Structure 1
């Protein structure tokens, strides 16, 4: 892409970002797959191929802009499919301890532990059963 060699005549912040993502996906990725396969074939014995594999990590190149990442993480966190440590791992940050709640999966609303979701409703129905 022209922006990668310094030609920014027709560039905006938004399209430069998407051009960079396209470059990784459509230009680099086919080569990366070839390199991974070649390295695996050349460096690993037959017995090692079942245990190990070669993989280039291009997540940093595909991250996108900060605001989009944070919005995506917020959605994932609020809907219970990412913990704080899952997010911190993707951002190359140190993990939080178990006591600090690093591995808790929360649900939207009251930010209750996923395992406790619906516990309040169960308590109310038990009380109703006792009063009958």
Structure 2
């Protein structure tokens, strides 16, 4: 087998070994050589679409096994978190309708993902009504 980084021929010790040495494997990980994914055909349906937080590139995910959600590559993710102290958090904006009263509520807190009621009173009324039905 031939090492894709240095071009040296080697005999792999494991069935999944791609690189001849630790140094070549480390180089590949640091420089994004492992980020290369075979592209799905352009006719395959887009599962999700997002902009990379680091380079702002539009990413269209077509493969279910592709777990990318925020970054286009490992390289962009590493750079983003390496310099994250200098980057302001992106403002999250989400609207939802209260399950109890139907009021439309806008949420900008990035940690507030699961909220489904506009206030504490609506939550209590909804749960008390549900328990009375049972």
TM-based fold match above 0.5: no
Q: Which has the higher contact order (CA 8 A, sep 6+)?
A: 1
* Greater helix content: 1
* Greater strand content: 2
User: Could you tell me the TM-score, scaled by structure 2's length?
Assistant: 0.30
